[in-house]
Amino acid sequence: MDEITALAKRRGFIFQSSEIYGGVNGIWDYGPVGVEMKRNIREAWWRDVVALRGDVVGIESAIIMHADVWRASGHVDNFTDLMMDCKTCKKRFRADQIAGIRCPACGNATLTAPRAFNLMFKTQLGAMEDAASEAYLRPETAQGMFVDFKLAYQAARKKPPFGIAQIGKAFRNEVTPGNFIFRSREFELMELEYFVPPDPEEAGLRWHRYWVDQRYDWWLALGVQAERLRKHEYAGADLAHYSRATTDIEYDYPFGWGELEGIAHRGTFDLSQHVHASGKDLSFFDEETKTKYLPAVVEPALGSDRALLVFLIDAYEKEDDRTVLHLHPRLAPYKAAVFPLVRNKPEIVELAAAIERDLRPRVRTTFDDSGNVGKRYYRQDEIGTPFCITIDYESLERQDVTVRDRDTKQQERVAISRLESYLGEKLR
């Protein structure tokens, strides 16, 4: 993790928020390279979960919602972690991370009894700070899709089974954030609420199994090593009170196995809660059967920040002479880097700049003329760029370039006229 953290800062993936003021624990900024990769992760998820499917639509709900939304969902009363404080060193720990009666920091047996700590950030709407102006930063995006369920299916003219997807910021006042961006206070969620009709043969459970397989295969398709993934199914007392089935896709992080994505069969709990609290009918009316019902929900949910961390860890390799990120081309911040071999020959620099400019509308590229070519290669290897294109003296005469493959380091001469189609074939 130390190597990943150092690389992320050095190459412009992730910075500590407000670093010049000492930083804010559990909050991170994304640099020039990180913002490109995070955007690619969002687009890969949206393409596969929404754009390529006819049964899923998207929405974008507000970060701040009516406070009653969070009362109805149970977050105000129940969205808590049990915390224990050490009376000696004054440090605070999550109760589920404590083994025994001694403080893991100072070793003294002076821990308090577990106490509930609400994880939501509270704020105020308007100028008056009173109970009527109380509001919360959302800890998840799911509730926006539940309260907008009826509006969304009517506008999109959809009927169950169908899904509503959303990507957006969420906030949790984690007392013990850590492991870099694995657990933070401000993060981005990518969530799908897939609504299914009630069925005595448990269609919801079938759809739960379907989405577990779909999401597991998605990680494999983007290059995550199968031996570092596993499915963890919850049962009995480990299930949330509203859940019919929950499966976590877990990853083998440097600090051990941990959650990567959760897929939960939530039943009708959420819609029922909002119907009861708001007094509004959120049922779906089926015109064909003339029946009205509240659909059950299957929810695959993951964080783009945690996904980025996994893709970095999984792609990271330290070789004898270089460090390289073997990122899937869909995720790589840049697909190709364009180099002039030398900076002191204007014709070569101009040709390199023209090639990069021509490729840019269709292939995400970057131009680099700093340092010798070898250093540029290894700089691009560290940020996961699949191909480096070098324009040299021969390029001026032969109208071709050298294309270097990140993973094999093999080089090939390619005509400038077919460079775009060449990259298109390689980047599929």
- Tens-digit pLDDT profile for residues 366-385: 999 998 999 999 999 999 99
Residue 77's pLDDT is: 81
Find all residues with CB under 8 Å of 225, minimum gap 6, and list them: 314
Residue 257 Cα distances to 69, 148, 246, 250, 314, angstroms: 33, 35, 17, 6, 13
pLDDT value at residue 236: 87
pLDDT of residue 34: 97
Question: Percentage of the chain with pLDDT > 70?
Answer: 99
Contact 352, 366 (CB under 8 A): no
Taking the C-alpha atoms of residue 10 and residue 18, their distance in angstroms, rounded to an integer, is 16
pLDDT for position 101 = 82
The overall longest dimension of the chain from CA atoms, in Å, is: 78
The residues, ordered by sequence, that sit 6+ positions from 159 with a Cβ below 8 Å of its Cβ are 153, 284, 286
* Residues sharing a CB contact under 8 Å with residue 229, sequence separation 6 or more, in sequence order: 216, 219, 220, 249, 250, 251, 252, 260
pLDDT tens sequence across 19-42? 999 999 999 999 999 999 999 999
Separation between Cα atoms, residue 206 and residue 186, nearest integer Å: 33
> Within 13 Å and on the Cβ side, how many CA atoms surround 191?
24
Domains contained in the chain, CATH given: 2-65+139-314 (3.30.930.10), 334-426 (3.40.50.800)
**Residues 135, 136, 140, CA angle at the centre, nearest 5°?**
145
Distance of alpha carbon 396 from the chain centroid: 44
Q: Which residues of the chain have pLDDT under 50?
A: none
- Identity of residue 183: R
Nearest Cα to Cα of residue 74 among 266, 303, 260: 266
Residue with tokens 């709900």: 61
d(CA 202, CA 196): 10
- Please state, in angstroms and rounded to a whole number, the distance separating the CA atoms of residues 413 and 415: 7
DSSP 6-48: HHHHHTTSEEETTGGGT--TT-EEE-HHHHHHHHHHHHHHHII
Spatial contact of 89 and 103, defined as CB atoms under 8 Å apart: yes
Could you tell me how far CA 88 lies from the centroid of its own chain?
38
Contact 65, 147 (CB under 8 A): yes
Q: For position 119, what pLDDT does the model report?
A: 85
Token reading at 283: 């049922």
Unique residue bearing structure tokens 């006819």: 54
Contact in structure between 318 and 311 (CB atoms under 8 Å): no
pTM (predicted TM-score) = 0.91
Which amino acid type is present at position 193? Answer: E
Please tell me the predicted confidence (pLDDT) of residue 203.
62
pLDDT at position 96:
78
End-to-end Cα, the chain, rounded Å: 30
